[in-house]
Every structure is written in C-alpha cells, then in structure tokens.
Amino acid sequence: MLCLPNKEIAKRLGVSKGTVKRHLESIFNQFPLSVTRTQLLFDAVYKGVIELKDIVRG
C-alpha cells in the first residue's frame, strides 16, 4: 500500500486521509534525516520486511 496515494490507502483501510497522513508523519519522524515513501519502500524490500509482490498496485 505504500505506493498508493493517501486517499486510496484511507479508502482501503476505512479511515480518513488525515489518519493516514498522521500515521505516515509519525513513521517519517522516527528517522533522523528527511526520508521519502520511496526510500522507505526500497529499504523495506532490501531488508526483506516486505516483498515486491506486496506493493504492486491491484
């Protein structure tokens, strides 16, 4: 779901866009440097936390 816009993530989870945004901000704030969704995604795949098949739209 990381590759989806906040609106779509919110729809799939049944929460508001604001909730998604706040949770993502909380995740991003745990890193000492500025980090993007794409960087988090690649790092998670590299470390084996998620698989590419889990992030493909569909």
Range of the structural domain that residue 41 is part of: 6-54
Q: What are 14-31's pLDDT values in tens digits?
A: 999 999 999 988 888 887
CA-based nearest residue to 14, from 1, 30, 27, 29: 1
CA-based nearest residue to 9, from 30, 27, 32: 27
Please name the residue that has the structure tokens 């493909």. Answer: 56
- Would 44 be classed as within a structural domain? yes
Q: What are 49-58's pLDDT values in tens digits?
A: 888 777 765 5
Residue 45 in contact with residue 34, Cβ under 8 Å? Answer: no
Say how many domains are in the chain: 1
- Would 1 be classed as within a structural domain? no
- Would 12 be classed as within a structural domain? yes
CA distances from 28 to 17, 41, 53, 57 (A): 16, 12, 23, 22
